[in-house]
Amino acid sequence: MMIEEDYDEYGEEVEYYAVRPNKTRIKKEIAALFKLGEEMAGLSPDQLERLMLPERILQAVREVSGMPHTGARKRLLKYIAGQLHQIDVEPYAEKLARLKNKSAHAVREHHLAEQWRDRLIAEGNEAVTALLDDYPEADSQQLRQLIRNAQKEITAAKPPKSSRLLYRYIKDLLQDDGLPAAADESAADEDEAFGEDREEI
């Protein structure tokens, strides 16, 4: 339906037509925003704060994150999708993607640290040599001390304090934050974990 007539600079008639909204496209957009809201609801409180959402949306996402999967939750997610539809969501979607990538990286890092820890405890010097090939900045003496005490704990069926310290040492090493501090809990914890015997494996 033509709603207005005008003329361009050459005197030609310009016709303007009412553009009807594409319902299918809008439904797809709302569905995508509904999913985005669900992903936001799955974030930790700290991660959610980093998105810096508008307050009304932030409050709704906080509320929905603790709700069971009921009709009320779905209605609130629809409300969130509607609110997101009124703003430019691209910056928030980009932040969310970065957070998810960081989380995935953290999971991979965790598994790799666990694998190295288990290998070091099981293989000893051979695994230390392999680790030092990949991470030459590591402290071989500290590694061997932690491994020796972790092995003793396993043999004596004691709580795995040194095993945890070894894991943290490796995790810090993987994060490339300089020389890792494996025994940050306290000086007493470090002394207890290392024990009096400082021999290498």
What confidence category does residue 95 fall into, taking pLDDT thresholds of 50, 70 and 90?
A: confident
Confidence (pLDDT) at 12: 53
Of 115 and 199, the one with more pLDDT: 115
Is beta strand 13-17 parallel, antiparallel or unpaired with respect to 2-7?
antiparallel
Joined tokens for residue 106: 């953290």
Of 10 and 156, the one with more pLDDT: 156
107-121, 157-171, 172-186: range with lowest mean pLDDT: 172-186
- Which residue has 């609110």 as its token pair? 83
**Dist CA 92 CA 129 (whole Å):** 44
What confidence category does residue 47 fall into, taking pLDDT thresholds of 50, 70 and 90?
A: confident
Most confident of 26-30, 101-105, 118-122: 118-122
- Mean of the pLDDT values across residues 24-50? 87
What mean pLDDT is reported for the chain?
Answer: 78
Confidence (pLDDT) at 2: 41
Q: What is the pTM of this model?
A: 0.44
Question: Is-contact 50 99, C-beta < 8 A?
Answer: yes
With 0-12 / 13-18 / 19 or more C-beta atoms within 10 angstroms meaning exposed / middle / buried, residue 147 is buried
What are the tens digits of pLDDT across the range 32-42? 899 999 989 88
Q: Is the pLDDT of residue 186 over 60?
A: no
Length of the chain: 201
Confidence (pLDDT) at 176: 60
Provide the percentage of residues in the chain whose pLDDT is more than 70. 76
Domains and CATH numbers, the chain: 2-88 (no CATH), 104-194 (1.10.60.30)
